[in-house]
A and B are shown apart, each in its own frame.
Chain A
């Protein structure tokens, strides 16, 4: 029966052409990224060459990137609090970056999961909602920096206070975002599920959760940068180790090269995080991008 309805087979080159087109688009995007960073480095180098920037305070990129071998020993492989530098290799640099990244990652994960859970509880449990919503709304505008002493009181020094800071930086915002997302789920979706006999739990798992995830991911991505800022503050302000601690040590020892070298690492790490989260978003929430492409 289906012989006449069968569409003509696609020419075999179509898929190949699409891959080529994608590659070209990504190549162009990469070129613009390079041009963007290149022009900043160019301007900086120009300022240094013309003598506008003090080489002691604002060393040019070729200086602070060029003398990396002198900076390496500040990056200790062990995640030791208050380390004054027993490292000396790129492995040390990598491990410091990874320790800081780990704190951001764990803090984000905890924040995401717990804020989702609390947001859902607020909406589904009337008593809990009425009890906690005013508190959440009150805590939300408090700057994470104000929580730093609390973090130290509660967790002393080490990984935990830094993770706590990341967590607190996104938690309240994400709770409020979760509530907003739940309220925006179209009533007709919920009606469809209920009419088909979905239990409360099934409505949540098969309708509410997939409907709110895209918006939550966007909020998480926006707050990723806040998380990076906070983790550095936590590390710098006596919590102990990691990139933030190295920036603070560089400040105390008046090592401008080390400041900018570490800033470069922070920028790169933040960029990689954002890209990874973006990739995850596209993989998990495939229908959003596709719907946008269809103009819906």
Chain B
């Protein structure tokens, strides 16, 4: 009964969410304002926006690492009050622990849950196989390439079978060829796991390549400018005219915001002088 109930609830829901830093100081900094959107169960949503628009902050709020100053954040209808293994997160740098080998890194979440050593080692190996890293179990993070490290980080997050996987520019530090491969990996994992995905990026191609819906942010303070559904069939081809049209549309939306951000920075610079 409860299962069905939970399925009806969106995996993630934001209602009037805002975040202001340094609320006590003379110069409070409004990072996010009036954010309203939801991620349905199994949906792939991308947050797209210029740098510094607060989209990473939103992920930190949803992960439970930071507290919102306004509004409500819900996960399957329940208020988000702290971190939860239900909501996994992957960072731009893989953040694997250098003192553990790859298998133990991947099984770290299982270790926290008190899973017995033999079992978590076996599950670690299974997870590594899922991300194509069999044979690297006993290597250390520094022995792997950036793309492999990020795949290990994905396996580590998937180990706890999260309902939502959040990613903060996970491929930004990788070269273009590796990026494309990693995006395919991610889509495969998404389809296998059935988890909802919420990915932050400033790359329009990445957003169109992955998303069911793209949430476009304004420049500071971060607000939702518009939400663009992507109706293209997967696998998506960047040479497809429809892909192009969508790209142009998004580029135009973002160009306005980048212009605004620049003008604001210049004004701030002039005021400081």
Q: Which residues of A contact B (CB under 8 A)?
A: 5, 186, 188-189, 191-198, 202, 206-207, 210-211, 285, 287, 290-291, 294, 296
6 A-B pairs with least C-beta separation: A296-B142, A188-B95, A196-B109, A210-B99, A197-B85, A291-B142
Q: Which residues of B contact A (CB under 8 A)?
A: 63-65, 83-85, 87-89, 91, 93, 95, 97-99, 108-109, 111-113, 135, 140, 142-143, 156, 160
B88 CB to closest chain A CB (Å) equals 7
Selected from A191, A194, A210, the residue in CB contact (under 8 A) with B97 is A210
* Total of A-B residue pairs, C-beta within 8 Å: 67
A291–B97 touching, CB < 8 Å: no
B83–A189 touching, CB < 8 Å: no
Contacts of A211 in B (CB 8 A): 97, 99
A196 CB to closest chain B CB (Å) equals 4
Contacts of B108 in A (CB 8 A): 192-193, 196, 206
Main secondary structure of the interface of A (DSSP, over half): helix
B84–A294 touching, CB < 8 Å: no
A291 CB to closest chain B CB (Å) equals 5
B91–A294 touching, CB < 8 Å: no
B63–A195 touching, CB < 8 Å: yes
Q: How far is the CA of A14 from the CA of B84 in the complex (A)?
A: 48
**What are 7 A-B pairs at a CB distance below 8 A?**
A193-B108, A197-B85, A197-B109, A197-B113, A198-B112, A206-B112, A211-B99
Can you name 5 extra interface pairs (CB under 8 A) apart from A189-B95, A290-B140?
Answer: A192-B156, A206-B108, A211-B99, A287-B142, A291-B140
Known: A188-B93, A191-B65, A294-B142. A196 touches B99 (CB 8 A): no
Q: How far is the CA of A243 from the CA of B87 in the complex (A)?
A: 61
A221 CB to closest chain B CB (Å) equals 19
Interface centre among B83, B88, B111 (most CB of A within 10 A): B83
Contacts of A195 in B (CB 8 A): 63-65, 83, 85, 87-89
Contacts of B95 in A (CB 8 A): 186, 188-189, 191-192
A197–B112 touching, CB < 8 Å: yes
Selected from B91, B112, B142, the residue in CB contact (under 8 A) with A196 is B112
